[in-house]
């Protein structure tokens, strides 16, 4: 038997360090998603406290995601230059500061200002997280890393209302938001304690993960001329539309179509998120073979689109609506890790932060724009159109995934070619 491996040993002998890194990054990602949803469940309290409409409160979230989009695209360049660890710490600190600012806000305009701070913090996570994964985790475990990343994000979304609403009911909305800020600080302290795990030594990482010396991709912005990058951007824009519709309108629309009791409607999103997390576990194993990621994405969203059409046009007992949301969430979750591999396979060496920053900016844009379109359908009681629109976007996702494959062969061609 060989001697004890060094920190720069082959990936297969370094499971413990990979597991630590994946866990820490997943924890940070959970706080990112948690922070995205700490305000929305408190809208009834905030509406009365600041004497504003739901539209004005929705604008606070729009500001958050627009700022996050801009920062996400820009922070990728900073990650590539300074490394991911300091950027991650700044992001978590900004999320905590925004939550404390919400708690102390004395006017609607202060909420908007704090949303800008929160958007800045939220914008750094995808470039940071995927740079750490792609540069430090063994290639054979990347599917599992992406799976954990998606699961922790879903759990962060699920935790937010369960955390802030009971505290607001027992004490006040200000205490609830201050508690959310305290939670972000606790996570920051945990990551600081394990900061050595998050360090990125480029040469050691290249040796440990078997990537070797990176090839040049030309100028700093040459990656923007790679067609696959923009195809991935479009894919994630559409994916964000799906998530936004499911989180905001689809359960209510399905409830109207099938006479579902209000309490059961509220369960639909929770069931979707929990099932999605379970699907990501299975998807992590399926993604161990990168060559089939497009087929997994296509199959997952194909089934999800079919389920959405059943919700739109079939007749069945109301109790089955949450079940169908669970099926839709599970198959979408299975596609999650393979979805992330689509981007990795289209990313040139040494441009991880920049590519992920631009590609995942599509998420923020989709989440900012989808409520404007589907909210109008809801205002006009076009409930069937909301569900059919969800199915159509899921169907377009399939074509988008395979289009990424078609153009990927140009992704690693130098700009001077």
DSSP secondary structure of 174-212: HHHHHHHHHHHHHHHHHHHHTGGGG---HHHHHHHHT--
- Please give the structure tokens belonging to residue 150: 């998606």
**Which of the 8 DSSP states describes residue 216?**
P
Residues 383 and 346 in one domain: yes
pLDDT of residue 327: 95
* Token couple for 335: 């596609």
Q: Which of 4, 8, 349 lies closest to 204, judged by CA?
A: 8
pLDDT of residue 64: 92
Q: Do residues 229 and 202 share a domain?
A: no
Q: Of 208, 232, 251, which residue sits at a domain end?
A: 208
Residue 382 phi/psi, 5-degree rounding, is -90, 65
CATH code at position 279: 1.20.1250.20
Quick check: 221 and 214 in contact, CB under 8 A?
no
Measured from the Cβ of residue 301, the count of other Cβ atoms closer than 10 Å reads: 29
Q: Are residues 106 and 32 in the same domain?
A: yes
**Of residues 284, 33, 12, 260, the one with CA closest to residue 159:** 33
Residue 121 and residue 255 share a domain = no
- Boundary (domain end) residue, out of 208, 240, 264: 208
Between vectors from CA 156 to CA 105 and to CA 54, what angle results, nearest 5°?
A: 45
Residues 246 and 288 in one domain: yes
Tokens of 200: 């990125």
Using the structure block, give the residue that is written with the tokens 């909210």.
Answer: 375
Q: CA dist 244 to 13, 254, 282, 402, Å?
A: 40, 15, 23, 23
Q: What does the pLDDT look like over 347-370, one tens digit per residue?
A: 655 555 666 677 777 777 887 788
CA-CA distance, 60 to 64, in Å (whole number)? 6
CB 256 within 8 A of CB 378: no
Q: What does each C-alpha distance from 109 to 57, 114, 168 come to in angstroms?
A: 11, 9, 21
Q: Are 222 and 415 in contact (CB under 8 A)?
A: yes
Give the separation between CA 240 and CA 254, rounded to whole angstroms: 20
Q: Are residues 204 and 299 in the same domain?
A: no
Report DSSP state, residue 287: T
Same domain, 34 and 73: yes
What's the confidence (pLDDT) of residue 6? 39
8 A C-beta contact, residue 347 and residue 339: no
The continuous run of DSSP H or E covering 342 comes out as: helix 320-344
Which 8-state DSSP code applies to residue 239?
H
Sign of CA dihedral 291, 135, 403, 151: positive
For the CA atoms of 61, 67, 68, 69, the dihedral, rounded to the nearest 10 degrees, stands at 110
**Domain tally for the chain?**
2
Whether residues 275 and 197 share a domain: the answer is: no
Q: What is the pLDDT of residue 24?
A: 94
Neighbours of 189 (CB within 10 A): 10
CB-neighbour burial class of residue 318 (10 A; exposed 0-12, middle 13-18, buried 19+): middle
State which residues form the domain around 165.
Answer: 13-208
- Look at residue 2 and tell me if it is in a domain: no
In the numeric block, the tokens 């504003």 are attached to 52
- Please check whether residue 201 lies inside any domain of the structure: yes
- Token code pair at residue 196: 């050595």
Please tell me the predicted confidence (pLDDT) of residue 50.
Answer: 92
The domain boundary residue, chosen from 166, 183, 208: 208
Looking at the fold, whether 232 and 191 belong to one and the same domain comes out as no
Q: What is the pLDDT along the chain (417 residues), one digit of tens a residue?
A: 444 443 433 344 488 888 899 999 999 999 999 998 898 778 888 988 999 887 788 788 888 988 988 888 788 778 877 788 899 999 999 999 999 999 999 999 999 999 999 999 998 888 888 888 878 888 878 778 888 888 898 888 878 878 888 899 899 999 999 999 999 999 999 999 998 888 876 554 444 444 444 444 455 666 666 666 777 788 888 888 998 888 778 888 898 899 888 778 767 877 888 888 888 888 877 766 667 777 888 889 999 999 999 999 999 999 999 999 999 999 998 888 787 777 666 665 555 566 667 777 777 788 778 877 887 788 788 889 999 999 999 988 888 777 665 555 444 444 443
CA separation for the pair 407, 247 (Å, rounded): 32
Q: Per this entry, what is the length of the chain?
A: 417
Residue 116 belongs to some domain of the structure: yes
- Within a domain: residue 298? yes
Residue with tokens 């894919």: 235
Asked if the structure places residue 34 within a domain, the reply is: yes
Rounded distance, CA 128 to CA 94, Å?
15
- Statement to judge: residues 323 and 390 lie in one domain: yes
Q: Are residues 29 and 159 in the same domain?
A: yes
User: How many angstroms separate the Cα of 23 from the Cα of each of 103, 152, 397?
Assistant: 29, 9, 29
- Tell me if 217 is assigned to some domain: no
* One domain, residues 56 and 195: yes
417 inside domain: no
Count of CB atoms situated within 10 Å of the CB of 145: 27
In a domain, 8, yes or no: no
pLDDT attached to residue 247 = 76
Running DSSP on this structure, what letter comes out for residue 415? T
The pLDDT of residue 390: 94
């Amino acid at each position: 038997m060989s001697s004890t491996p060094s920190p720069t040993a082959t990936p297969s002998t370094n499971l413990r360090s990979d597991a630590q890194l994946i866990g820490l990054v997943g924890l940070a990602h959970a706080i990112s998603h948690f922070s995205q949803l700490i305000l929305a469940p408190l809208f009834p309290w905030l509406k009365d406290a600041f004497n504003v409409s739901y539209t004005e409160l929705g604008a606070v979230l729009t500001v958050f995601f627009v700022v996050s989009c801009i920062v996400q695209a820009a922070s990728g360049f900073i990650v590539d230059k300074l490394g991911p660890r300091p950027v991650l710490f700044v992001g978590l600190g900004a999320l905590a500061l925004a939550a404390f600012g919400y708690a102390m806000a004395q006017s609607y305009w202060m909420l908007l200002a704090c949303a800008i701070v929160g958007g800045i913090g939220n914008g750094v996570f995808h470039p940071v997280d995927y740079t750490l994964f792609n540069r430090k985790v063994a290639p054979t475990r990347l599917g599992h890393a992406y799976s954990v990343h998606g699961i922790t994000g879903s759990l962060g979304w699920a935790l937010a209302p369960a955390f802030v609403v009971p505290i607001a009911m027992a004490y006040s909305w200000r205490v609830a938001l201050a508690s959310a800020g305290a939670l972000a600080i606790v996570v920051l302290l945990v990551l600081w304690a394990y900061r050595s795990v998050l360090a990125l030594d480029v040469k050691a990482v290249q040796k440990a993960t078997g990537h070797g010396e990176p090839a040049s991709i030309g100028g700093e912005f040459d990656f923007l001329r790679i067609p696959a990058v923009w195809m991935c951007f479009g894919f994630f824009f559409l994916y964000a539309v799906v998530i936004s519709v499911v989180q905001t309108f689809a359960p209510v629309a399905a409830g109207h179509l099938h006479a579902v009791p209000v309490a059961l409607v509220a369960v639909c999103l929770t069931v979707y998120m929990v099932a999605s997390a379970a699907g990501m576990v299975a998807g992590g194993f399926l993604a161990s073979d990168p060559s089939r990621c497009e087929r997994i994405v296509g199959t997952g969203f194909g089934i999800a689109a079919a389920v959405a059409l059943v919700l739109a046009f079939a007749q069945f007992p109301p109790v089955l609506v949450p079940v169908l949301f669970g099926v839709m969430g599970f198959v979408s979750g299975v596609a999650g890790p393979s979805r992330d591999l689509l981007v990795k396979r289209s990313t040139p060496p040494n441009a991880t932060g920049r590519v992920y920053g631009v590609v995942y900016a599509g998420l923020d844009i989709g989440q900012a724009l989808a409520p404007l379109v589907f909210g109008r359908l809801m205002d006009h009681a076009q409930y069937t159109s909301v569900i059919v629109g969800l199915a159509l976007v899921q169907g377009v996702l399939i074509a988008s995934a395979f289009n990424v494959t078609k153009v990927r062969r140009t992704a690693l061609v130098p700009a001077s070619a």
